[in-house]
C-alpha cells in the first residue's frame, strides 16, 4: 500500500514546520499501522542534539538525502528508533517518531510487544518500531513506496510543545510536539546527569 503521493512536497519544508504536520499521520508496515501522536524535530548542523550535528557519517547518511525517507538507528545498542527525513537534500534535518496509537493490526502489535497495554504498544520511539516490526534494514526506505509507508492526515486541533526527551545537547529547545491530552504520548524525562568518575 503506497503512502501519500504528496510526501516530498509536505516534507521538504523546514523541520519545525514539518514536525507538527506529522501528528495524526499514519505509519504502516505490513498489517500494522500507527497513528502518530508525538514527534521531535532535529535540525542537523544547527542542532547539538542531532546525529548530524558534526557532519555526515555512514550511520547518518540517509539524513543527508532527499525528504521522505526513513532514517533508522540503534539506541543504546539495543533498540531501533526511526525518523522521517525532511527539508532540502543535504541539510540533514529529520523528525523522530516518538509515539502513536496502533490503529490497525492490533493483535500482531500485541504479539510483538508481549501483550503490553494497548496504549503502551507504541508509546516511545523504540516501542513504536517494535510494534511495527521496523528494523535497521528499513533504513533509507522511501516512505511513498514502501515497505514502510507514511500517509499524511489532518493534524490534531490542539498541539502541545516542550523540550525533547533525554537530551544533553540543546535540551531547552521546545522541539517536541504532541497531540494534547492523548494517552499514548510518552512521559517527559530529562537527560540523566553524567556519572562522576
DSSP H helices, the chain, are 7-11, 15-21, 106-112, 125-132
The total number of structural domains in the chain stands at 1
Nearest to 51 by CA among 7, 98, 95: 95
| pLDDT for the residue numbered 43 | 95
The mean of the pLDDT values for the chain is: 92
Q: Identify the domain containing residue 39 by its residue range.
A: 7-179
- Is 72 in contact with 81 (CB distance < 8 Å)? yes
Give the CA-trace dihedral at 47, 51, 57, 59, to 10 degrees. Answer: -160
Is 188 among the domain residues?
no
**For residue 155, what is the domain's CATH number?**
3.10.300.10
Mean pLDDT by 10 residues, the chain (197 residues): 74 96 98 98 91 87 96 87 96 96 97 91 97 97 96 96 90 95 93 66
User: Where do we find the cell 550511520?
Assistant: 59
Q: What angle do CA 141, 103, 13 make, to 5 degrees?
A: 45
Return the pLDDT at 1.
60
> Which alpha helices (DSSP H) does 124-171 contain, by range?
125-132
Q: Three-state SS for 110?
A: helix
Are 169 and 49 a contacting pair, CB within 8 Å? Answer: yes
pLDDT at 78: 78
Residue 52 lies in a domain: yes
Rounded to whole angstroms, how far apart are CA atoms 92 and 87? 8
Q: Is residue 104 part of a domain?
A: yes
- pLDDT at position 45 is 87
Per-residue pLDDT tens over the stretch 55-73: 898 889 999 999 999 999 9
Q: How is residue 4 written as a grid cell? A: 501519500
What pLDDT, on a 0 to 100 scale, did the predictor assign at position 196?
63
**pTM of structure:** 0.93
| Residue 120 belongs to a domain | yes
Determine the pLDDT at residue 4: 67
pLDDT at 169: 83
**For residues 31 and 105, is the Cβ–Cβ distance under 8 A?**
yes
- Does residue 191 fall inside a structural domain? no
CB atoms within 10 A of CB 45: 13
At 37 the pLDDT is 98
Amino acid at each position: 500500500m503506497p503512502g501519500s503521493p504528496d510526501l516530498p512536497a509536505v516534507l521538504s519544508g523546514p523541520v519545525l514546520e514539518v514536525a507538527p504536520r506529522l501528528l495524526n499521520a499514519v505509519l504502516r508496515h505490513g498489517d500494522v499501522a500507527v497513528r502518530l501522536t508525538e514527534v521531535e524535530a532535529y535540525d542537523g548542523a544547527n542542532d547539538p542534539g542531532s546525529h548530524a550535528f558534526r557532519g555526515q557519517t555512514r550511520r547518518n547518511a540517509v539524513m543527508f538525502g532527499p525528504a521522505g525517507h526513513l532514517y533508522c538507528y540503534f539506541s543504546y545498542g539495543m533498540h531501533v528508533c526511526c525518523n522521517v527525513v525532511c527539508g532540502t537534500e543535504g541539510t540533514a534535518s529529520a523528525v523522530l517518531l516518538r509515539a502513536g496509537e496502533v490503529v490497525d493490526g492490533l493483535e500482531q502489535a500485541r504479539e510483538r510487544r508481549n501483550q503490553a497495554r494497548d496504549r503502551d504498544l507504541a508509546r516511545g520511539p523504540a516501542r513504536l518500531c517494535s510494534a511495527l516490526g521496523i528494523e535497521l534494514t528499513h533504513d533509507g526506505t522511501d516512505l511513498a513506496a514502501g515497505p514502510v509507508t507514511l500517509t499524511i492526515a489532518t493534524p490534531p486541533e490542539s498541539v502541545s510543545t516542550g523540550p525533547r526527551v533525554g537530551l544533553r545537547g540543546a535540551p531547552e529547545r521546545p522541539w517536541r510536539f504532541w497531540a494534547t491530552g492523548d494517552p499514548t504520548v510518552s512521559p517527559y524525562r530529562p537527560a540523566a546527569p553524567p556519572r562522576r568518575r
